[in-house]
Amino acid sequence: MSATFKAGMIQMRSGVTPQANVDAAVRLIGEAKQAGADYVLTPEMTNIMEVKRERLFATIVAEEADSALATFRELARSLGIHIHVGSLAIKVSPDKAANRSFLIDTKGEIVTRYDKIHMFDVDLANGESYRESRSYRPGDVAVLADLPWGRIGLTVCYDLRFPALYRALAEGSASFIAIPSAFTQITGEAHWHVLLRARAIENGCFVFAAAQGGKHENGRETFGHSLIVDPWGKILAECGTEPCVVMAEIDPAAVAAARARIPSLQHGRRFEIVQPMVEPAHLHAVGRPA
């Protein structure tokens, strides 16, 4: 195995029909393989983008019955590449799903799984409202896995806004961080690039960020701009908003080089927070003694 490898980001515009989404992903993964990809990442919600809760649960299935996962496992085996399914909606109970990533090796075996920890429950200024926790059960375990070229940390989308998770993964020897996403248009325009570059810079790691992009069948609009960022914060590859594949040659030695230049992972210190003293209420009421 070469010391370097090619990473491919698959940008999609998933709709409400899983088979159509899987077919689109398979085609784009095939393009990445033809371009020399060794590792391919798909975006969050590769199999379905459905905001209607009742339709979501009428469509998704348990992991062992999920045909999308079976397809990606066979594709990884037949192409001889690592396929990292950014996430699938997987039914884990009658009324809850998991937003679950799968890392699949060249033999089609599932190396590891990761359930998105942080739920996107927000009200945006433009009137959009999201309550991911209504339908999805959050994970509670951070996950690392070994690729032939180094260790990768698994995260998903809204996790990006919680830097302590990324520091923990970097302290666990992650050289690469995957952040498959479906960022909204409004938040993506404001924060996508700067947050991804920040996670790469502060942890001295490569960031792989495959994204959903464009106006979806369900009416939602996502930002796109799938990125690969190096450990010094340089953008190596980027999509626009259309479905596409972007590639970059990844040199794991760049991780050690960046961490040697800025060894902040070695300099972190534990600390306590001192709260301001609050005076008793009666002193405010009657004043201090003369």
**Element containing residue 114 per DSSP (H, E):** strand 110-115
Report pLDDT for 290: 46
Output the pLDDT for position 284: 56
214 DSSP β-pair partners: 222
Is residue 276 within 8 A of residue 43, CB to CB? The reply is no
Predicted confidence (pLDDT) at residue 34 exceeds the cutoff of 80 = yes
Give residue for tokens 């799968």.
Answer: 102
Question: What is the sign of the dihedral through the CA atoms of 146, 178, 7 and 212?
Answer: positive
pLDDT above 90 covers a percentage of the chain that reads 88
Q: Which amino acid is at 192?
A: W
Q: Using alpha carbons, select from 8, 21, 154, 136 the residue that is nearest to residue 76.
A: 8
CATH assignment, 5-286? 3.60.110.10
The DSSP output letter for 65 is: G
Tell me the catalytic residues. 44, 116, 157
Domain boundaries, the chain: 5-286
For 29, phi then psi, to 5°, come to -65, -40
Query: Across residues 64-92, what is the average pLDDT?
Result: 98
User: Mean pLDDT across the chain, nearest whole number?
Assistant: 94
Q: How many angstroms separate the Cα of 79 from the Cα of each of 67, 108, 166, 243?
A: 18, 10, 31, 21
Predicted confidence at residue 282, as pLDDT, reads: 61
Amino acid present at 141: V
Q: Within 13 Å and on the Cβ side, how many CA atoms surround 125?
A: 4
Band (278; pLDDT cuts 50, 70, 90): confident
CA-CA distances (angstroms) from residue 289 to 276, 280, 285? 22, 13, 12
* pLDDT (mean) for 181-198: 97
What gap in Å lies between CA 241 and CA 39, rounded to an integer? 22
Between the alpha carbon of residue 136 and those of residues 25, 56, 95, 131, 234, the distances in Å are 23, 11, 8, 9, 34
Query: Which is it for strands 5-11 and 39-41: parallel, antiparallel or unpaired?
Result: parallel
Question: What confidence score (pLDDT) does residue 286 get?
Answer: 54
Q: What is the pLDDT of residues 202-214, one digit of tens each?
A: 999 999 999 999 9
